[in-house]
Amino acid sequence: ICVMSLTALFYKYASKDGDASTMTKKEVDEMLKCEFPAFYEDKDGKMSMAEFMILISALSCVCKQLIDTLSQSK
Ligand SMILES: [Ca+2]
């Protein structure tokens, strides 16, 4: 995933209620459902430690890419 597609992904779901600057809980929910179905469709509806780690790792990866991109653009 590159930063540009993440930005596009954000706007795709954030704009659903007409306000693209923020994501409501409903919009986040919809994004998870559509973009991360394996994560969303967990049978018990609870987050295990393993799932939590996967989510945090994915977010950390995204943050690193963002920081790398920003530092390169200086
Ligand atoms: Ca919104």
Instruction: Determine the pLDDT at residue 15.
Output: 95
pLDDT tens per residue across span 22-49: 989 899 888 878 877 766 666 666 777 8
Q: How far is the CA of 41 from the centre of ligand 1 (A)?
A: 23
Question: What domains, with CATH codes, occur in the chain?
Answer: 3-72 (1.10.238)
Instruction: Quote the mean pLDDT of the chain.
Output: 79
Distances (CA, A) of 57 to 7, 11, 63: 19, 22, 10
The C-alpha atoms of residue 9 and residue 67 are separated, in whole angstroms, by 18
Predicted TM-score (pTM) of this structure: 0.55
CA Rg, the chain, in Å? 14
Instruction: Determine the pLDDT at residue 41.
Output: 63
Q: Which residues surround ligand 1, an ion (CB under 5 A)?
A: 14, 17, 19
Q: How far is the CA of 74 from the centre of ligand 1 (A)?
A: 30
